[in-house]
Amino acid sequence: MKITVLGCGALGQLWLTALESQGHEVQGWLRVTQPYCSANVVHLDGSVSNGTYVANDPDFLNQSSLLIVTLKAWQVASALKNLEFLIAPSCPILLLNNGLGILEELRGLPQPILQGVTTHAATRDGHVIVHTASGITHIGPTSAPAARLSDLAEPLHQALPDVAWHNNVAPAAWQKLAVNCIINPLSVQYDCRNGALKEQQAEILRLCAEIAHIMEREGYHSSKENLYNYVMQIIESTADNLSSMLQDVRAQRLTEIDYINGYVVRRARAQGMAAPENSRLYDLIKRKEQFYEHESL
């Protein structure tokens, strides 16, 4: 298959090398136009992939039969709207960003959109990307299920297992959202690696209870206990990681908070509920962003 990967950060490089190793023709797409991009990945078994790939070739993009988007949530809508006319209307777009709420921003795009959520973790160490935790990538359609699209799960699974197809991917997306609502802002609050959050049991339990309650109102079966077990499992498997939000805050970059706790707060409000735990974390991260935005003026 011909596949374009939009965004060549840690996750993008992981997919580029994994897909190429299965014989797919791949290209990267960077925000700053470049003819080539490189990927240097240390895999879970310690093996290394170093590759140079074509980048930002409009003909390649137009002929692609899949576009994988690994940008930050807040970059996705404007990037796709700029590229819309270069992407074939039949080319599926697989979104792999953290958080929810982007679909609302993409209304009107002619291409079929697939929602993806992944628990693979990769982190940058200088010029190298280290695949730190294996995981599952759940994918599924965002409008009326098209049977043909489910065929994509197999080649993706061959490249970077596990990949699971869901006709209704929303419950898996909400479960990953819960992980990001808890680990990401708490790691900023305590300025710590993910593993150190094991000490914050009470706060994690309060957040799980609040998110499970909102999920139930949204129509997704959930419980405080299930969310808690899942979050603790991810804290364990990514114990040495700095969460993406903590990395963003340390580098004084815009975070994905609007699509993470911000999305949960908006959904709670739409259901006529309060979400004090999520609101507190949302405000905490917004204050940090405003502080460094103000500093840079």
Catalytic residue numbers?
176
175 makes contact with ligand KPL (CB under 6 A): no
Both tokens of residue 64?
Answer: 């692609």
Give the C-alpha separation, 239 to 212, whole Å.
24
Among 68, 234, 257, 275, which residue sits at the site for ligand KPL (rule: CB under 6 A)? 234
Among 27, 175, 244, 278, which residue sits at the site for ligand KPL (rule: CB under 6 A)? 244
17 makes contact with ligand KPL (CB under 6 A): no
183 or 264: whose CB is closer to ligand KPL? 183
Task: Tell me the site size for ligand KPL, rule CB under 6 A.
Answer: 12
CB 51 within 8 A of CB 189: no
278 makes contact with ligand KPL (CB under 6 A): no
Among 4, 64, 70, 194, which residue sits at the site for ligand KPL (rule: CB under 6 A)? 194
Contact region with ligand KPL (CB under 6 A), list: 198-206, 221-229, 239-247, 276-284: 239-247
Give the C-alpha separation, 128 to 135, whole Å.
20
Q: Which residues contact 21 (CB under 8 A, 6 or more apart)?
A: 49, 159
Handedness of CA 267, 172, 65, 25 (dihedral sign): positive
Among 200, 222, 243, 255, which residue sits at the site for ligand KPL (rule: CB under 6 A)? 243
Handedness of CA 223, 116, 182, 219 (dihedral sign): negative
Contact region with ligand KPL (CB under 6 A), list: 9-17, 150-158, 240-248, 286-294: 240-248
Q: Quote the least distance from Cβ 28 to ligand KPL, whole Å.
A: 21
What amino acid is encoded at 28 in this protein?
Answer: G
Give the C-alpha separation, 67 to 61, whole Å.
8
132 makes contact with ligand KPL (CB under 6 A): no
How is 82-93 classified by DSSP, letter by letter? HHGGGS-TT--E
CB 203 within 8 A of CB 186: yes
183 makes contact with ligand KPL (CB under 6 A): yes
255 makes contact with ligand KPL (CB under 6 A): no
DSSP 3-state of 211: helix
Contact region with ligand KPL (CB under 6 A), list: 77-85, 101-109, 178-186, 213-221: 178-186
121 makes contact with ligand KPL (CB under 6 A): yes
Half-sphere exposure of 233 (CA within 13 A, CB side): 13
Q: Quote the least distance from Cβ 238 to ligand KPL, whole Å.
A: 4
73 makes contact with ligand KPL (CB under 6 A): no
Give the C-alpha separation, 261 to 285, whole Å.
10
184 makes contact with ligand KPL (CB under 6 A): yes
56 or 194: whose CB is closer to ligand KPL? 194
How far the first Cα of the chain sits from its last, in Å, is: 46
Binding site for ligand KPL (CB under 6 A): 98, 121, 179-180, 183-184, 194, 234, 238, 241, 243-244
